[in-house]
Amino acid sequence: MIQKYVYGKPFSTEAVVTEVPAGEGTPAYGKVDTEKGFCFTYIMEETDIVYGLGEANRGLNKRGYCYISDCTDDPNHTEDKRSLYGAHNFIVVSGRETFGLFFDYPSAMTFDIGYTRMDTLQVSCADADLNLFVIEGDSPYDIVKQFRKIIGRSYIPPKYAFGFGQSRWGYKTKEDFRKVADGYRENKIPLDMVYMDIDYMQDFKDFTLHEENFPDFAEFVREMKDRNLRLIPIIDAGVKVEDGYDVYEEGVKNRYFCQRGDGSDFVAAVWPGNTHFPDVLNAEARAWFGDKYRVLTDQGIEGFWNDMNEPAIFYSPEGIDELKGMLKQFLENENYNSGINAGTLAVAPTSDTNDSAETESAGASIWPLMGKINALANSKEDYRRFYHTVNGERIRHDKVHNLFGYNMTRAAGEAFERIDPEKRFLMFSRSSYIGMHRYGGIWMGDNKSWWSHILLNLKMLPSLNMCGFLYTGADLGGFGADATRDLLLRWLALGVFTPLMRDHAAAGTRDQECYQFENLDDFRHVVGVRYRLIPYLYSEYMKAALNDDLYFKPLAFAYPEDSMAVQVEDQMMLGNEVMIAPVYTQNARGRYVYLPEEMKFVKFLPDGSVSEETLPKGHHYVEIALNEVPLFIRSGKCIPLAESAEYVEALDTKHLTMLGYPGAEYTLYEDDGIGKDYENKENYRTLKCC
């Protein structure tokens, strides 16, 4: 049962798409206080678990830290961070009382989950204008499924998007892209997509092509398509301010950009320098921006990734003016260069928690200045400087900040429906809010080539699924910092299971395409295992999407009575048949796993064979070499397996072999992978394991 409690005048986020009955009185759980803003308080039992929050830092059980839903472009995902790129305000408390809460509120929201006091859950925000959905059910899993029903069906990508993709910030010319294609095709490592980062554009202008490098883009798209590769270009949120650039000029003329209080178009510097933000919360502007994707779809492009849509701001002219003022003041301080202005109390901004350290030191008077420089990017002040126009009314950006990436991706999703309603397009975004899951997936942003990030990304998967984001994955090998061969192999062995499987790296980091390392056979093998599993992975994805179910779930959802399973955070259930347990530690030759029931321990060995061992319920140490991919098949179940292929369309799904328990049956979902005939009963067939 779901009930909706309305506080003040909520902004319509359109996250929820079904009618939900209004609750009587006050919510049955916790206490709501609307004296100063909004605050929900609930006292937790020691063993209560809190699930949810989608793309958020730390564990699967969110207890013990403070998270802030405030879409942020932060490439340093260290343990202390409270905000990442998404705002997914759905949690489930599981324990003495079990219930779900969705706080549908588009601005910054704090989830203090036992941080201030270990027993206290407190969810708060500045304005008491929101819808609170309270969900009751038999179990956390049941609650999640009910929630998923009210937010609408998750985005369904084309089937080729289950293939492997290679990306790197730095590919510029056709030769760069051909080199990637050759690197994979010549070495027979499967590949379906090559991603185009910002350098394909002319001066980083959305919906343009670099004039010298791509004079005949459509032909190049065809050339790659002939090699069974799809080019997937990036689109950024900011539109470059430049006379003569049609997107800029149309946007200015039609007042489609976000404006300052005085009606002028707000300026934010991003990759191209000064840009304007399309007002994607305004339906007319959203349709206009969405239709721009045609510039590329008309040339044969079938998928995109939307970036910088928190929206990220490097600086604003206003911020620079303030900085100049501070610098002037600092320089005019006659004592600054003799270092004798002791007695001034300088406040040094520390981390992003806004804590500040006070110190009495002469030299420390530089700190406010340094703080200002650091705070130029993604500054709260800038987010208060511009407005959206929604249904004729102006609303200040910070009040709806978390909806920008959602609506940018919605612009594209709605446009795809106009461009070709019969066809699926690949789309994923960096920033998101619940509701965006209907229009696209997300990638997990700028992680690093750190072992700890394999684990962080693994833990995020079920949480994201709970919030509707099924098509997701991390930058395999890590975006920032230098990858090593073993890190990439282990990360790929997790990526084998994530719907989005993409190797992506930042400019300036070590090359990390699979063919850059020694003993390519290992990479061919690991990526090949992905292709062998695609019939199963796609089938489980489609079942999850079509039934508002989870593709990844915590062990707790499958084995709620098992007190040990309930605590496991580094193994996940995938679909109805499989458990995954990747290795995420350097130099490890295997790992410990907990089996909540008897399972088949399956390893894909580098010689192409598959080893199977039946292990009893309990704790085990399992050996897993760098070039092996492990998975576990649940008792009495089986999964289909194809021969590997160089690209998804070449997979032979007519001749599948079955892996698992003899006598078990599996219902396979299969369709043409591009159209939308999802409800056709013929998409299902039963396969039997002999």
Which residues of this chain interact with ligand GLC, rule CB under 6 A? 169, 197-198, 234, 307, 430, 445-446, 504
What CA–CA distances, in Å, run from 189 to 329, 529, 606?
Answer: 59, 11, 13
Q: Which residues of 426-457 are buried (b: 16+ CB within 10 A; e: fewer)?
A: bbbbbbbbbbbbbbbbbbbbbbbbbbebbbbb
What CA–CA distances, in Å, run from 479 to 304, 448, 483, 507, 585?
Answer: 18, 5, 9, 9, 18
Contacts (Cβ under 8 Å, ≥6 apart) of 145: 137, 548, 549
CB nearer to ligand GLC: pick between 90 and 443: 443
Could you tell me the smallest distance in angstroms from the CB atom of residue 236 to ligand GLC?
7
Could you tell me the smallest distance in angstroms from the CB atom of residue 662 to ligand GLC?
45
Could you tell me the smallest distance in angstroms from the CB atom of residue 170 to ligand GLC?
9
Amino acid type, 532: R
Could you tell me the smallest distance in angstroms from the CB atom of residue 259 to ligand GLC?
26
Could you tell me the smallest distance in angstroms from the CB atom of residue 530 to ligand GLC?
21
CB nearer to ligand GLC: pick between 85 and 559: 85
The CA R_g of the chain, rounded to the nearest whole Å, is 25
| CA separation for the pair 314, 379 (Å, rounded) | 9
Could you tell me the smallest distance in angstroms from the CB atom of residue 542 to ligand GLC?
27
Helix, coil or strand: residue 84: coil
Could you tell me the smallest distance in angstroms from the CB atom of residue 191 to ligand GLC?
19
CB nearer to ligand GLC: pick between 84 and 191: 84
CB nearest ligand GLC: which residue? 169
Could you tell me the smallest distance in angstroms from the CB atom of residue 474 to ligand GLC?
11
CB nearer to ligand GLC: pick between 204 and 217: 204
Rounded to 10 deg, the angle between the 283-291 and 404-419 helix axes is 60
| CA separation for the pair 385, 394 (Å, rounded) | 12
CB nearer to ligand GLC: pick between 307 and 628: 307
Beta-ladder partners of 613: 601
Closest by Cα among 80, 90, 77, 160 to 123 = 90
CB nearer to ligand GLC: pick between 505 and 668: 505
311 upstream amide cis, omega within 30 of 0? yes
CB nearer to ligand GLC: pick between 205 and 430: 430
CB nearer to ligand GLC: pick between 233 and 596: 233
CB nearer to ligand GLC: pick between 410 and 430: 430
Rounded to 10 deg, the angle between the 451-466 and 140-151 helix axes is 70
Cβ(686)–Cβ(665) under 8 Å? yes
DSSP H or E stretch at residue 297:
helix 294-297
Amino acid type, 519: N
How many CB atoms within 10 Å of residue 547? Answer: 12
CB nearer to ligand GLC: pick between 146 and 449: 449
Could you tell me the smallest distance in angstroms from the CB atom of residue 85 to ligand GLC?
8
The secondary structure of residue 645, as a DSSP letter, is -
Could you tell me the smallest distance in angstroms from the CB atom of residue 16 to ligand GLC?
29
Q: What is the DSSP string of 277-326?
A: -B-TTSHHHHHHHHHTTHHHHTTT--EEEEESTTT--SB-HHHHHHHHHH
Beta-ladder partners of 231: 194
Could you tell me the smallest distance in angstroms from the CB atom of residue 579 to ligand GLC?
30
Cβ(400)–Cβ(431) under 8 Å? no
CB nearer to ligand GLC: pick between 408 and 629: 408
